[in-house]
Structure 1
């Protein structure tokens, strides 16, 4: 009888705490559902097939696209960029295969491996950035855009018309002086002539050139007004700056080439394609007090953030 009374007393005492915990879990779950304005589901293929809502999917996408230690306003800007890309690709669909979206994405195990002991802190921070911009996307002239972004530039973003051959009104040349302060602003890459030839042949099987004639048959023939290489002659091939960049695994297509004996030295400026939203430059501005809407509207000419 005594044990029964003690058990009953414990149940009575703990019941309010259990109810409070249950209510908190239920309230948090439902408030999250209310905050997520889209019913779009993203199907993930991997070890097993599963589906995620927009918030959970974008948390993994933003984690893959930008350093987690950047300012909250920069992370919010990146969340808006990723969401805009997702919605633009999904259109009116309510179910989208992740492989059709075109965004790099990290699942939970990838994020834990990337961040280690900082996983909980970083994941919470990025999840917050996604939640606090819920439903917000980028428009130009009332139409949803397809945005572009990169990590750090050479001090100037590129014109879409010059870089892509298409006049995209929100991809205009914009000054980004903060890039010059980045430790990733300039990269020196060195290799032998033979190594360069081997890399080019891997990417372009028709490429023909000898080490002895490489210096005489390699030259930049066209650059855009931001300083990025548009075209160069190498051996028997005419390559775009981006083709050359990817073949040699260079940080960007803004580079200079110098030959010294058997060596090739490439000085590369910035990291990424140089188009649109400059993450490093935006983060420097966020530290100066700019909010995410101001960051986006600075780098993407004429855009507006809205739902």
Structure 2
């Protein structure tokens, strides 16, 4: 089982001490005393200690203040989540590994958030992530990608939830990594063992980056009615400029989505659902789903419009992700306005309850 390894706070701040060269004592002449090797060594050590006191200690203190407190590794290893394991299929390496549940939840949060996210949104996402994993552990989809690799979940954001490791965070946020990881750890620990349930069972706790202004119903997205996955208005998502992106493709690139050499861009047709999402795209007699079309072109959403020009197709997408369940962007906006994490959960998953996972597993 893979456990997270925390970095000691001050280890990178210590200065390397210069080593005095070995050699015979220096003679000062007949009138002066000889300087022995021991005296040379003591002198060098004293100078090094003085230098460290003047430079090294203030540097370490400054870094500690700037980076925040070191995570409590002992507490982390003794949480209820730490006693559970989730099997994760890692698509890039084609391997399946066992992770402590708290490590899994933290890695998902690290992938989904950036430093400065409100704590209430982190806690809401931690509970949703834990719920997602436990639901998969109890009721995994037979025949799915994870099941085929003897896993509960994958690290593919198109199939499950994405993950970022501690080294990923250190590389992306070098000056904020420890403070950020400590914040994520606190969100996981302070919600330890809590999940979202509906009729005493863990829910399908979907979450995604940002909606086009409203979340989808399960009927529209999954073609089945799930009472707690309803359309939720997301006004902060609607005005987020980063939620809209533009992408341009050639006829050959579009053809690859259909398994063809190229397509006639002017003759492409799409079918749209009532909520704006594209359900199908056709090129001549060949039709693929809107989700498959989006995945083939690496589009962030299946809610898009397009315009052809000069043999190319310019696609404008709205939102990022499945648009089902909890919008993490909207959750952060709600948390910033003072909404608690429990209320955020009930806002996005209406009719659900929060309880200990020991009562359902």
1:91 maps to 2:148: no
**Structure 1 residues 113 and 31, CA gap change in structure 2 (3 angstroms):** closer
- How far did residue 101 of structure 1 move? 2.4
In 2, the alpha carbon distance for the partners of 1:195 and 1:44 equals 32
Scaled by the length of structure 1, what TM-score is found? 0.78
Please say which structure displays the higher CA radius of gyration.
2
* Residue from 89, 98, 101 that aligns with 2:153: 101
**Structure 1 residues 32 and 247, CA gap change in structure 2 (3 angstroms):** closer
- How far did residue 75 of structure 1 move? 0.8
In 2, the alpha carbon distance for the partners of 1:49 and 1:261 equals 46
Structure 1 window deviating more from structure 2 (255-264 vs 42-51): it is 42-51
> In the alignment, is the contact (CA less than 8 A) between 1:138 and 1:305 conserved in 2?
yes
In 2, the alpha carbon distance for the partners of 1:125 and 1:254 equals 33
Secondary structure at the aligned position of 2:176 is classed as helix
**Structure 1 residues 131 and 161, CA gap change in structure 2 (3 angstroms):** same
> In the alignment, is the contact (CA less than 8 A) between 2:215 and 2:232 conserved in 1?
yes
Residues 8-63 of structure 1 deviation map (CA, whole Å, 9 limit, x = unaligned): xxxxxxxxxxxxxxxxxxxx666445543662134679999986533233212221
- How far did residue 234 of structure 1 move? 2.5
More helix by percentage: 1
**Structure 1 residues 84 and 265, CA gap change in structure 2 (3 angstroms):** same
1:60 maps to 2:107: yes
- What residue ranges of structure 2 are gaps of 5+ in the alignment? 1-71, 140-146, 155-160, 357-361
How many residue pairs get aligned? The number is 268
In 2, the alpha carbon distance for the partners of 1:146 and 1:241 equals 22
> In the alignment, is the contact (CA less than 8 A) between 1:38 and 1:135 conserved in 2?
no
Secondary structure at the aligned position of 1:245 is classed as helix
Tell me the equivalent position of 1:219. 269
> Please, what is the CA RMSD of the aligned residues?
2.8
- What residue ranges of structure 1 are gaps of 5+ in the alignment? 1-27
**Structure 1 residues 221 and 45, CA gap change in structure 2 (3 angstroms):** closer
* Residue from 313, 330, 337 that aligns with 1:264: 313
Tell me the equivalent position of 1:20. none
- How far did residue 133 of structure 1 move? 0.7
**Structure 1 residues 98 and 305, CA gap change in structure 2 (3 angstroms):** farther
In 2, the alpha carbon distance for the partners of 1:244 and 1:49 equals 28
Q: Which has the higher contact order (CA 8 A, sep 6+)?
A: 1
Structure 1 window deviating more from structure 2 (259-268 vs 30-39): it is 30-39
In 1, the alpha carbon distance for the partners of 2:96 and 2:166 equals 14
**Structure 1 residues 143 and 287, CA gap change in structure 2 (3 angstroms):** same
> In the alignment, is the contact (CA less than 8 A) between 2:81 and 2:100 conserved in 1?
no
